[in-house]
Structure 1
Amino acid sequence: MADSKSQKLRQTALPYPYRENGLSLKLEGCQVEGEQPVEFDEERESSTVDLAVDESDPWERATLRGEVTLPEEVVESVFPPDERSSPPGKLYVAVRCPDAIYRDRVDVDTSGTEGCVDPGVHDVEVSLRSDRLREEVRLIPFLVRSSEGESDGTFATTPNVRLASGEPWTVVVDEEEENGNSLIDGEEAEFSEHDHLPGEKRLYHLDFRNADSPKLWINSDHSRIVDILHANGSVGAEARMRDVVLDQIQQGVWSQLVMRAISDVDEEGEPRHDWEQAVLNIFARDLTDEDDVARASIQLREELDDPEGVAVLMERLDGSIQDYIDPRDQLINLVEEGLQL
């Protein structure tokens, strides 16, 4: 009953039907490179796979095998009637590792007409490399449109817009360290009391005084906002507001990190600092047509040096960061929370 209510609210908040939890991802087995495949228990209820690295016997590559199920009722609810016989959609599994700022996607083999997806069960394989990941990886199934459609004001018509998603699976890559290893450090302070921080009206400040280890400062002069940032849980008005505020901060912080990283790239495509390489690993290829991070980084540095190319680069960067942090979902959650008040 709760799921039905949630689904109704999601369709109300979006200008088109969207089926949250409309897809089902089921992992059936795993193979670590050089070892025998392991089949998962069909009766297992857990959606967590433990591949924690053993320091005495680390793995480099692992392949997870599973299925993504697209129900007929989901197709009927997100595509207009004249498209349902050959739905213009595609399935993929998003691979997200926040602690390693790694983001990728794996297309699901639908083995049907190109650009179309049929309802039913579809096989998928997800390959992971331990050197690119840290702590936990989330695997999330999505259905998106594959081509533009005719608008009747009801259904989504824009290519690549998401139409449905499913519950994620979690893959534990290694044990969480007590102190963690985040990309940048964060700390709260009253900006009004410190000369090295900007004025008290600022919400946050990204500090590059130590270029090898940037630091994010949050202004505790704004006590109510800081209280929201400390909200616990994943549901409720304060948790939803927390996620939206964090997304707003992330948008500005990522912009600075990416631009700083690009500006430090040398002739070989190598930046000066480790954190810059991590940033380029996730964004450089998405911002260019290059598959190699070093070549992509060189191209971005050339664009940054071209006054006419900077504006175009900034436009692409804004879109890439929006895709990465996906602020739409958090805003929708906040809207849905408001509709229940």
Structure 2
Amino acid sequence: MVDSKSQKLRQTALPYPYRDNGLSLQIEEYQLEDEQPVELDQEQDNLTVDLAINESDPWEHATLRGEVNLPEDVVQSVYPPDERSSPPGKLYVAVRCPETIYRDRVDVGTSETEGGLDPGVHEVEISLESNDLRGKVQLLPFLVRSFEGDSDGQFATTPNVRLASGEPWTVVVDEEEESGSRLIEGEEAEFSEHDHLPGEKRLYHLDFRKVDSPKLWINSDHSRIVDILHANGSVGAEARMRDVVLDQIQQGVWSQLVVRAISDVDDEGEPRHDWERAVLNIFARDLTDEEDVTQASIQLREELNDPEGVAVLMERLDGAIQDYIDPRDQLINLIEEGLQI
């Protein structure tokens, strides 16, 4: 039974029980390059890993190791009685960097019994590449269903639907505003005051005038929206609205970036610009049946140039971007905040 007020609100927003802080992620150590691992203070309360420790010798690759705890009472809350002895589930940690609109997920090393997930503590290892990141990165644990189930409608039965989450950890990648790298640059401006930007009604504009370095402009004519985008933290109404607005922007931005990258692929499957290569590394394999990014890129270019194939490609692209961004979770969080008002 779900007892807390927040859990009751979560069940009202969703048609099934969901444990918002049911999981516990604990990062125990980090390792930069091949150096000796550094153990973290297990008594710390701020759930932060600071990797910006030596600006004169920046790191390229970092590994974080820790554990995700799935308590027995969470299993009892989110699964129907006939599944609780061998719950069909998977654990993963979502990796999100708002500054570079980078998202990834790391599967947690889990123990399974006859297709089910054992409650308890499970080890996780998270790899980070500095070229993908800037500023701060959030690590969030999630529990999802692993296959379809049958119930009376009270519990979630759809594969991959989220059942529980936990408090996020923050990884500080760099402190300086100029450090790190972005897939694309971003800047705010009043669209009404600049001829090279579209009309003042537009929320954002992706600028390809410098094709080797596209730039995302946010329209500061809409001051209230820009204020929301500057909201800090991970909870509260403004933070939830910020995440939903960012998801909306990302959907359109990613669509343009992927199509541009595909259109620039040559006969050998190579794009013209570094940012295009990064985009294709993220999406090309998911949009095709190819495991090799180069072959996948060639196939995508052929589809884009085919009047009949482009419509099917755009449909797949929309789904792939939705899977990458996962806007459902942010919308649910916003709904929860609305229910508390």
CA shift, 1:202, in A, is 3.4
CA shift, 1:295, in A, is 3.2
In structure 2, the residue matched to 1:299 is: 299
Is residue 203 from structure 1 mapped to residue 203 from structure 2 by the alignment?
yes
Q: Name which of structure 1's ranges 296-305 and 82-91 shifts more when overlaid on structure 2.
A: 296-305
CA distance in 1: counterparts of 2:103 and 2:198, whole angstroms: 32
Q: How does 1:166-177 map to 2 (within 5 A)?
A: 166-177=166-177
Residue by residue over 1:216-259, the C-alpha shift from the partner in whole angstroms, topping out at 9 and shown as x without a partner, is 34445555545544556555444433432332222112211111
In structure 1, the residue matched to 2:68 is: 68
In structure 2, the residue matched to 1:46 is: 46
SS in 2 for 1:86: coil
Q: How does 1:215-294 map to 2 (within 5 A)?
A: 215-220=215-220, 222=222, 224-226=224-226, 228-229=228-229, 234-294=234-294
Residue by residue over 1:61-113, the C-alpha shift from the partner in whole angstroms, topping out at 9 and shown as x without a partner, is 43322111001111111111111111011111222334344333222222222
CA distance in 2: counterparts of 1:200 and 1:31, whole angstroms: 47
In structure 1, the residue matched to 2:129 is: 129
Residue by residue over 1:105-163, the C-alpha shift from the partner in whole angstroms, topping out at 9 and shown as x without a partner, is 22222222263201111122223334444443322211111101124222111111111
CA distance in 1: counterparts of 2:89 and 2:77, whole angstroms: 13
**Alpha carbon RMSD of aligned pairs, Å?**
2.8
Is residue 185 from structure 1 mapped to residue 181 from structure 2 by the alignment?
no
In structure 2, the residue matched to 1:313 is: 313
Unaligned runs of 5+ in 2: none
TM-score normalised over the length of structure 1: 0.86
Q: Name which of structure 1's ranges 210-219 and 69-78 shifts more when overlaid on structure 2.
A: 210-219
In structure 2, the residue matched to 1:159 is: 159
Q: Percent identity?
A: 82
Whether the aligned pair in 1 keeps the contact of 2:130 and 2:180 (CA below 8 Å) is: no
SS in 1 for 2:104: strand
CA distance in 2: counterparts of 1:152 and 1:281, whole angstroms: 42
Whether the aligned pair in 2 keeps the contact of 1:99 and 1:181 (CA below 8 Å) is: no
CA distance in 2: counterparts of 1:56 and 1:236, whole angstroms: 37
The structure-2 alpha-carbon separation of the partners of 1:104 and 1:340, relative to structure 1 and needing over 3 Å to count, comes to closer
Whether the aligned pair in 2 keeps the contact of 1:53 and 1:59 (CA below 8 Å) is: no
CA distance in 2: counterparts of 1:239 and 1:164, whole angstroms: 20
CA distance in 2: counterparts of 1:106 and 1:233, whole angstroms: 23
The structure-2 alpha-carbon separation of the partners of 1:67 and 1:229, relative to structure 1 and needing over 3 Å to count, comes to closer
SS in 1 for 2:332: helix
In structure 1, the residue matched to 2:149 is: 149
SS in 2 for 1:286: coil
CA shift, 1:278, in A, is 2.7
Whether the aligned pair in 2 keeps the contact of 1:206 and 1:217 (CA below 8 Å) is: yes
TM-score normalised over the length of structure 2: 0.86
Corresponding letter in the other structure for 1:202 = R
